[in-house]
């Protein structure tokens, strides 16, 4: 059994020095104790307009603009599988606006997120992230982009 050190989503706010627009990041990192393996998930509002969900590791996932797999499970719900595309480097990828909103809706109200990132070379990186307190953090990040999430 792998032991994890993990915490809830934290929010960070930055301001672009040229445009004065705000950038919100709600993120959590899972680091396996005794290992350097790390998985980070984040919801971001970039420049008050671009809402994204990102996944990153310290390891190769796929070549730039190539696909890798992200599997996740919230609490006891059925697990889901998504194909994601890497961004500017080979260890970070994600999804934009509406796909990110769907992801946010899936995890809102949950207590625990289990995630598995599978690289294009079939390496697997697992994470267990507490979702305690994530509801307000995710909503605040989405609202910074002018998006409103309706959740029961």
Q: Report the pLDDT value the prediction gives residue 44, as an integer from 0 to 100.
A: 92
- Give the separation between CA 146 and CA 114, rounded to whole angstroms: 28
Is the predicted pLDDT of residue 7 greater than 70, yes or no?
no
Spatial distance between the Cα atoms of 64 and 73, rounded to a whole number of angstroms: 26
DSSP per-residue codes, 81-149: EEEEEE-SSTTEEEEEHHHHHHHHHHHTT-SEEEEEEE-TT--EEEEEEE-TTHHHHHHHHHHHTT---
pLDDT at 3: 33
By the 10 Å C-beta count (0-12 exposed, 13-18 middle, 19+ buried), 146 is classed as exposed
pLDDT score of 71 more than 90 = yes
Q: What is the mean pLDDT of the chain?
A: 84
pLDDT reading at 61 higher than 70: yes
CA distance 21 to 70: 31
Looking at CATH, the fold of the domain delimited by 4-144 is given as Immunoglobulin-like (2.60.40)
Q: Is the pLDDT of residue 29 over 80?
A: yes
Task: Provide the sign of the torsion angle of the four alpha carbons 125, 99, 109, 149, taken in this order.
Answer: positive
Between residues 35 and 62, the one the model is more confident about: 62
- pLDDT over 60 at 49, yes or no: yes
Domain segments of the chain as ranges: 4-144
Task: Decide if pLDDT at 76 tops 70.
Answer: yes
- Are 61 and 119 within 8 A, CB to CB? yes
| Of the candidate ranges 2-16, 18-32, 130-144, the one whose mean pLDDT is the lowest | 2-16
Average pLDDT over residues 37-59: 88
- Distance set, CA 150 to CA 58, 90, 133, 135 (Å): 34, 34, 17, 11
């Amino acid at each position: 059994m792998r032991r994890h050190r993990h915490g809830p989503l934290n929010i960070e706010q930055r301001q672009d020095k040229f445009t004065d627009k705000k950038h919100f990041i709600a993120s959590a990192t899972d680091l396996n104790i005794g290992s350097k393996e790390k998985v980070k998930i984040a919801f971001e509002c970039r420049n008050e307009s671009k809402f994204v969900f990102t996944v990153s590791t310290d390891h190769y996932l796929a070549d730039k603009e190539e696909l890798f797999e992200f599997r996740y499970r919230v609490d006891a719900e059925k697990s889901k599988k998504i194909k994601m595309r890497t961004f500017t480097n080979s260890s970070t990828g994600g999804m934009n606006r509406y796909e990110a909103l769907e992801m946010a809706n899936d995890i809102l109200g949950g207590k625990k997120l289990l995630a598995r990132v599978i690289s294009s070379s079939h390496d697997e990186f697992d994470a267990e992230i507490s979702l305690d307190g994530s509801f307000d953090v995710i909503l605040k990040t989405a609202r910074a982009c002018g998006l409103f999430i309706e959740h029961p």
